[in-house]
Amino acid sequence: MGLVIDLDTCVGCHACVVACKGWNTENYGAPLADTDAYGAEPVGSFLNRIHSYEVTPQVGPAQTVHFPKSCLHCEDAPCVTVCPTGASYKRVEDGIVLVNESDCIGCGLCAWACPYGAREMDPVEKVMKKCTLCVDRIYNDNLPEVDQVPACVRTCPAGARHFGDLGDAESDVSKLVAERGGFDLMPEQGTKPVNQYLPPRPRDAWVAEEEDDTQIDVLAPFLAPVTDQPKGFLGWLDKTLERL
Ligand code: SF4
Ligand code: SF4
């Protein structure tokens, strides 16, 4: 199971960030910490964050890309193999990567090993936290069927977040990935992330201005699948994430 995140339609509103924080504070384990929330140096745990960037392709105008980031539930998850207590684990039945908080000693090795910065040390609880894909929603028969999806997916007003079985080639999310050229984030890391991203498309205004339909693929060269070294948008994203 996993998420498909559409970088073309995400508007960076942070609704998913707030919904994630709310659900995982009110309904899952210990609340996600917030210290000095209205003070000079606020500190808190967020399992989902949005980064916004301006991208300038070689041809055409610059455009803003809003990039949501949470755990990608990798097939070969280094956060799991590095964990000295076995607190981090990947479920066989649905591939969700979780942390057993009672076994976590807060050593931080998994955060060091995760190439995406997707782990959050809770500064109050002193245990590692991460996206659970809302395991307490997606199998919860006490919720209406429409709510049996991760909180971020349920709340996104732009429909930029999709949830489903990416291991099933016939699922809606797998078809979406195939149709839109979904890609792995930083595939050179070898983690085989389950979550997929859909690339941003050039803005309509610029296409109309050019009156040339072939220009619709202006970003395609930058978003082509990466083999050895990431290039273009992915390369830039890779470098930016490394600096976080
Ligand atoms: Fe682990 Fe990071 Fe992959 Fe999530 S994104 S499974 S925390 S390595
Ligand atoms: Fe983007 Fe949807 Fe999250 Fe808003 S709620 S930031 S549109 S993914």
Q: What is the pLDDT of residues 108-159, one digit of tens each?
A: 999 999 999 999 999 888 999 999 999 999 999 999 999 999 999 999 999 9
Q: Is 198 in the pocket of ligand 2 (CB under 6 A)?
A: no
Q: Where are the alpha helices (DSSP H) in the chain?
A: 15-26, 78-81, 109-113, 135-138, 151-155, 172-180, 204-210, 220-223, 232-242
pTM of this structure: 0.81
Average pLDDT estimate for 177-189: 95
Task: Answer whether 82's CB lies under 8 Å from 113's CB.
Answer: yes
CATH of domain 2-198: 3.30.70.20
Q: What is the distance in A from the centroid of ligand 1 to the CA of 58?
A: 32
Give the ligand 2 atom nearest the CA of 12. Answer: 6
Tell me how far the alpha carbon of residue 143 lies from the centroid of ligand 1, in angstroms: 28
Whether ligand 2 lies within 6 angstroms of the CB of 82 is answered as: no
**In terms of Cα–Cα distance, which of 10, 7, 48 is closest to 152?**
48
Query: How far out from the chain centre does Cα 200 lie?
Result: 15
**Which pLDDT score is estimated for 57?**
75
- Indicate if ligand 1 lies below 6 Å from the C-beta of 116: yes
Pairwise pLDDT comparison (62 vs 205), residue with the higher score? 62
Residue 205 CA to ligand 2 center (angstroms) comes to 22
Residue with CA closest to ligand 2 atom 2: 156
Ligand 1 contact via 130 beta carbon (within 6 Å):
yes
14 lines ligand 2 (CB under 6 A): yes
Question: What residue spans define the domains of the chain?
Answer: 2-198
The amino acid sitting at 80 is: V
Which ligand lies nearest to the CA atom of residue 19 in the structure?
2
Q: Is the dihedral of CA 123, 26, 164, 69 positive or negative?
A: negative
